[in-house]
Amino acid sequence: MKSRLFRKIFAAYAVTLLVVIALDGLFVAYQTHQDIPLQVREDLSTGGLTLRLIPLEKLVANTPFLSQSLKARLTIIDAQGKVLADSEQDSRKMDNHFSRPEIQEARSNGEGHAIRHSDTLDIEMMYVAFPLKIEERIVGYARVAKPLEELKTAIDQSYRIIFRVALTIIISFLLLALLFIPKLISPLLTMTDYTERARTQKAPGSLMVQSGDEIGQLAENINLLVQNYEDNIRIVREEKGKLTSVFTSMVEGIVILNRQNRIELINPGASDILGNRYSEMTGKTIIEAFRNVELQNALDRCRKTGQPVFQEIALDGGNQLFLNVNIAPIKDLPGQDNKIIVVFHDVTQLRKLERVRADFVANVSHELKTPLTAIIGFVQTLQEGAINDKETAGRFLTIIAEHAGRLNRLVDDLLILSRIELGEVALHPEKMDPRQAVQQALTIIEDKARKKGLAVRQDWPENLPLILADGDGIVQILVNVLDNAVKFTAAGDITISADRDEKGFLAITIADTGTGIPANEIPRLGERFYRVDKMRSRELGGTGLGLSIVKHLLQAQQGRWEVESSPGKGTVVKLFFPLFATPVV
């Protein structure tokens, strides 16, 4: 049995037992040691007492006989100490015994004892002596003695018995202990084993200990504890799962700062918003990670006041990002004190829209104002007398008509645009041949192109598929795009071709050899009043809305565009229209 508990219990019992037995043994031994000499003395004295009644002469004569009946050595001594007779020795050879302590004691006290070495017999002896008296006068002494050897034998005998009893008790205890202690501790071992499993494994089951005593109670409590513990773990895990899923799936960016203002945790939302703008952020401070002074200032403010701080920041680098940032200290969460939570909302799109709207209002006002200013100016000049100069008046009226016409076109375009945007222009996509649409558009453009000396080439593939598009819509789109091509091409040609892609679209490609568009301007094409070359476009009579209309018309018909351009070489515009698919019956 290796159990330490077993050893402990066993050792405790064994020590207790040994101490008890040892004390007991010692006591008994001591008692025996005391008792046996006393008993011998008692025997000797009672035996000796009868000797007093016998006259001295008879004692001397019958010494051997008396000694035998007393089972002791008998010595008869006269009043002067001379040995008269001895049962074991020749009395004549013995010296005077008067000085012996037992005789002295007997003379004064009536009885004397002594344990000492007998010179005569050369062994330890116990002596008891009595005075022999005749009418109160001591005439001699009788002395009985037994060898102590006998005593020792008796004591040893009793020691041996004590030892045997002790040994029997110890052995039977050991056997019983080996039998009972394991029974006592086996439930404890089971419990140890079980708690070990509960600590390391997920589901340890429950503990089976059948016992009505405290150990049974303990087992029951352990069962409850483990059950409780498992429940708690499950609850914690569930809660954590909820929090984690919220944390990871939130669109808002969350960054948690520890008490040293270092970034401790970032959610995927934050990574999405920030993109690959920054490398690894965890462990860095805010200024180190973001390089943004406003954010750092806001954080400092929050640290200082302990109040939530709201701040809008703009992050440069690549595309500018506008973020609403809420910085708040984390409160009342154990183990989280002095931490700070930073929440980012991406408002870039919102800011962009706001800017587009503001730009639009400014642009519209500007676009309307320019021709109006000209008209008002010329009208005033006419009013001030120029009307009388026929030639000048005619020229002025032409200019006024031109500007009025431009105003009209502008308002028309704006109306079209707003109607398309509001969905008021009803588009009816239907089966149509793209060639026909191009022909229609060209009848409007051809004249302009011919005047500039531009060749318009068409390059249609065989088996040109039909597309799904609104008849008027597609013509308007083509007119606008072709018009731009003509406007911005000084010399060269315009090529129209078509190609179907694998996604179910037909791309009508219009390539020119014109001024081209810088790459960074391409994404802004289609913004209202956005002009690549502001001065020239207006000179050429554009309203700045043409491509905007195209873009919206395309969107309304599930179409889209792609623009490739290299400045100075030309522009390629691809207009994608969905192919007409025969409905599956």
Partner 1 sequence: MTDGIPHTSAQYENELQEVKDNLIYMGVLVEKAITKSIEALLQRNYELARAVIADDDQIDRLDVAIEDKCIRLLALRQPAARDLRFITTAIKINGHLERIGDMAVTIGKKVLKLNEEAQLKPYIDIPRMADITKGMIRESIDAFVTEDLELANKVRRDDEKVDNLNEQIFRELLTFMMEDARTIHRGLIIMQISKSLERISDHAKGIADMVVYMVTGKSVRHEEPLEEENITKQ
Residues in contact with partner 1 by the rule CB under 8 A: 260, 285, 287-288, 291-293, 296
- Tokens at residue 288, please? 């180190």
Nearer to partner 1, 300 or 421 (CB): 300
CB of 332 to partner 1, least distance (A): 25
Nearer to partner 1, 169 or 287 (CB): 287
- Alpha helical stretches, state H, 201-253: 214-249
CB of 296 to partner 1, least distance (A): 6
CB of 298 to partner 1, least distance (A): 13
CB of 210 to partner 1, least distance (A): 55
- With residues binned 3-state (H G I as helix, E B as strand, rest as coil), the percentages for the chain, rounded to 5, are 55, 20, 25
User: C-alpha 387: how far from its chain's center?
Assistant: 90
CB of 519 to partner 1, least distance (A): 17
Nearer to partner 1, 293 or 519 (CB): 293
Helix (H) or strand (E) holding 577: strand 570-578
Let me know the angle formed at the C-alpha of 275 by 299 and 247, rounded to the nearest 5 degrees: 65
How far is the C-alpha of 81 from the C-alpha of 83, rounded, in Å? Answer: 6
CB of 347 to partner 1, least distance (A): 21
Nearer to partner 1, 317 or 453 (CB): 317
CB of 355 to partner 1, least distance (A): 17
Which residues partner with 168 through β-bridges? none
- Helix/strand/coil for 530: coil
CB of 317 to partner 1, least distance (A): 9
CB of 291 to partner 1, least distance (A): 5
CB of 292 to partner 1, least distance (A): 7
- Helix/strand/coil for 267: coil
- Tokens at residue 19, please? 């101490």
Nearer to partner 1, 164 or 536 (CB): 536
Identity at 509, one-letter amino acid code: T
Contact yes or no for 124/149 (Cβ under 8 A): yes
Nearer to partner 1, 226 or 309 (CB): 309
What does the buried/exposed string (b/e) look like for 148-187 if buried means 16 or more CB atoms within 10 Å of the residue's CB? beebeebbeebeeebeeebeeeeeebeeebeeebeeebeb
What does the buried/exposed string (b/e) look like for 219-242 if buried means 16 or more CB atoms within 10 Å of the residue's CB? beebbeebeeeeeeeeeeeeeeee
Nearer to partner 1, 260 or 388 (CB): 260
Nearer to partner 1, 89 or 258 (CB): 258
Contact yes or no for 141/130 (Cβ under 8 A): yes
How far is the C-alpha of 553 from the C-alpha of 425, rounded, in Å? Answer: 9
- Helix/strand/coil for 85: strand
How far is the C-alpha of 195 from the C-alpha of 191, rounded, in Å? Answer: 6
Let me know the angle formed at the C-alpha of 199 by 193 and 201, rounded to the nearest 5 degrees: 90
Nearer to partner 1, 279 or 463 (CB): 279
Question: Strand 253-257 relative to strand 137-147: parallel, antiparallel, unpaired?
Answer: unpaired
In this structure, which long-range contacts are made by residues 197-206, counting pairs with CB atoms below 8 Å and at least 24 apart in sequence? 198/226, 198/229, 203/230
- Tokens at residue 333, please? 């969460």
CB of 406 to partner 1, least distance (A): 29
Nearer to partner 1, 159 or 278 (CB): 278
Nearer to partner 1, 280 or 384 (CB): 280
Nearer to partner 1, 287 or 464 (CB): 287
User: C-alpha 32: how far from its chain's center?
Assistant: 75
- Alpha helical stretches, state H, 348-505: 348-383, 390-422, 434-452, 471-487
Which residues partner with 432 through β-bridges? 467
